[in-house]
Structure 1
Amino acid sequence: MLASLSMMMSHGFKSSKQDFNFGPWKVTASKNHIMKSKDIERLAEDMNMPSLPEMLFGDNILRIQHTDGYGIEFNAVDALKRVSNMEDSVKVACAQEWQESRADSEHSKDVIRPYDWTYTTDYRGTLTGESMQIKVSETAERIDMEKLKAREHIMFFDEVLLFEDELHDHGVSMLSVKIRVMPTSFFLLMRFFLRVDGVLIRINDTRLYHEAGKDYMLREFTTRESKISELKNVPAPLFTDPNEVAQYLTLKMTECEKLELPVLQTHTADNKVIE
Structure 2
Amino acid sequence: MSCPRSLPGYPPAGGRCLIMLSQGGFQSSRQNFTFGPWTVTAAKNHIMKSKDIERLSEEMNMPALPEMLFGDNVLRIQHQDGYGIEFNAIDSLKRVNNMSDSVQVACAQEWQQSRAESEHSKEVVRPYDWTYTTDYQGTLIGEEALIKVTPTEQRIDLDRLKVREQIKFFHEVLLFEDELHDHGVSTISVKIRVMPTSFFVLMRFFLRVDGVLIRVNDTRLYYEAGKDFMLREFSMRESRLEELKDIPATLYTDPNEVAPHLALKLMHCDRLQFPERTEQAAQ
Match of 1:24 among 37, 41, 59: 37
Question: Are residue 236 (structure 1) and residue 240 (structure 2) matched?
Answer: no
Match of 1:80 among 54, 73, 93: 93
Q: How far off is 1:150 after superposition?
A: 0.4
Q: How far apart, CA to CA, are the structure 2 residues paired with 1:36 and 1:15?
A: 15
**Which string of whole-angstrom CA distances, capped at 9 and with x for unpartnered residues, describes residues 24-63 of structure 1?**
0000000001001111001111112111101000000000
Match of 1:207 among 203, 220, 224: 220
Task: Sort the Cα spacing of 1:185 and 1:274 in 2 relative to 1 into closer, same or farther, 3 A.
Answer: closer
Question: Are residue 194 (structure 1) and residue 207 (structure 2) matched?
Answer: yes
For structure 1, the residue ranges without an aligned partner over 5 or more in a row are 1-9, 268-272
- Give percent identity, aligned residues only: 73
Equivalent residue letter for 2:32: D
Q: How far apart, CA to CA, are the structure 1 residues paired with 2:74 and 2:178?
A: 18
Q: How far apart, CA to CA, are the structure 1 residues paired with 2:197 and 2:279?
A: 28
Q: How far off is 1:101 after superposition?
A: 2.4
Match of 1:250 in 2: 263
Q: How far off is 1:237 after superposition?
A: 1.2
**Which string of whole-angstrom CA distances, capped at 9 and with x for unpartnered residues, describes residues 183-220 of structure 1?**
01000000000000000000000000000000000000
Q: How far apart, CA to CA, are the structure 2 residues paired with 1:98 and 1:68?
A: 49
Task: Sort the Cα spacing of 1:242 and 1:12 in 2 relative to 1 into closer, same or farther, 3 A.
Answer: farther
For structure 2, the residue ranges without an aligned partner over 5 or more in a row are 1-22
Q: How far apart, CA to CA, are the structure 1 residues paired with 2:243 and 2:125?
A: 24
Question: Are residue 101 (structure 1) and residue 137 (structure 2) matched?
Answer: no
The equivalences for 1:249-268 within 5 A come to 249-264=262-277
Task: Sort the Cα spacing of 1:274 and 1:26 in 2 relative to 1 into closer, same or farther, 3 A.
Answer: closer
Structure 1 runs of 4+ aligned residues shifted over 2 Å read 10-13, 100-114, 263-267
Question: Are residue 121 (structure 1) and residue 134 (structure 2) matched?
Answer: yes
Say whether the 8 Å CA contact 1:101–1:198 is kept in structure 2: no
Say whether the 8 Å CA contact 1:215–1:261 is kept in structure 2: yes
Say whether the 8 Å CA contact 2:206–2:217 is kept in structure 1: yes
Match of 1:151 in 2: 164
Match of 2:59 in 1: 46
Q: How far apart, CA to CA, are the structure 2 residues paired with 1:180 and 1:236?
A: 30
Q: How far off is 1:108 after superposition?
A: 2.9
Q: How far off is 1:168 after superposition?
A: 1.0
Q: How far off is 1:178 after superposition?
A: 0.2
Match of 2:79 in 1: 66
Question: Are residue 134 (structure 1) and residue 147 (structure 2) matched?
Answer: yes
RMSD over aligned CA atoms reads 2.0
Give the secondary structure class of the aligned counterpart of 1:222. Answer: strand
Q: How far apart, CA to CA, are the structure 2 residues paired with 1:14 and 1:28?
A: 16
Give the secondary structure class of the aligned counterpart of 2:182. Answer: coil
Match of 1:36 in 2: 49
Q: How far apart, CA to CA, are the structure 1 residues paired with 2:24 and 2:282?
A: 52
What is the number of equivalent residue pairs in this alignment? 261
Q: How far off is 1:263 after superposition?
A: 2.2
Q: How far apart, CA to CA, are the structure 2 residues paired with 1:182 and 1:266?
A: 22
Q: How far apart, CA to CA, are the structure 1 residues paired with 2:105 and 2:205?
A: 19
Of 176-185 and 90-99, the range deviating more from structure 2: 90-99
Equivalent residue letter for 1:244: E
Q: How far apart, CA to CA, are the structure 2 residues paired with 1:266 and 1:158?
A: 27
Q: How far off is 1:227 after superposition?
A: 0.3
Q: How far apart, CA to CA, are the structure 1 residues paired with 2:276 and 2:148?
A: 11
**Which string of whole-angstrom CA distances, capped at 9 and with x for unpartnered residues, describes residues 168-187 of structure 1?**
11011101000000001000
Task: Sort the Cα spacing of 1:248 and 1:112 in 2 relative to 1 into closer, same or farther, 3 A.
Answer: farther
Task: Sort the Cα spacing of 1:236 and 1:81 in 2 relative to 1 into closer, same or farther, 3 A.
Answer: same
Q: How far off is 1:104 after superposition?
A: 4.3
Q: How far apart, CA to CA, are the structure 2 residues paired with 1:113 and 1:248?
A: 33
